[in-house]
Amino acid sequence: QVQLVESGGGLEKPGGSLRLSCVASGSALGLRAVGWYRQISGKERELIVCITGGSIARYKDSVKGRFTASRDNAKNTVFLQMDSLKPEDTAVYYCIEVAGCLSSDPSASGSWGQGTQVTVSS
């Protein structure tokens, strides 16, 4: 089984950028589909990006045009480039293996990690 670990969060000003990384261990990332989720305080965790093994990504409307998912399978890493950050992007961000990206609510595999905190504030 593969374990995914998120990193790269931090404090950023509105309009700024952050780049999150999601590194696979235990097993190779291979062609696994990966979902990026976030949980805003007091709200339900939501899928914001799903990227297939072939690097085809689907985005939630709220992040479309601002966030970009990519991957480097040889490095067992999925990335999330976040640009034009807004205060409402403040959340804990998670990555996890999902059962493909065709569904808007794909099944997640394995256990959720601790996530990485992103805070957008002036």
Q: What is the mean pLDDT of the chain?
A: 95
User: In the block, which residue shows the tokens 């969060």?
Assistant: 9
Distance CA(97)–CA(45), nearest Å, equals 15
Distance CA(33)–CA(40), nearest Å, equals 23
Cβ–Cβ under 8 Å, residues 26 and 1? yes
What is the tens place of the pLDDT at every residue in 11-50?
A: 999 999 999 999 998 899 999 999 999 999 999 999 999 9
What is the structure's pLDDT at 2? Answer: 86
Distance CA(13)–CA(88), nearest Å, equals 12
What is the tens place of the pLDDT at every residue in 47-68?
A: 999 999 999 999 999 999 999 9
What is the structure's pLDDT at 105? Answer: 87
Cβ–Cβ under 8 Å, residues 68 and 81? yes
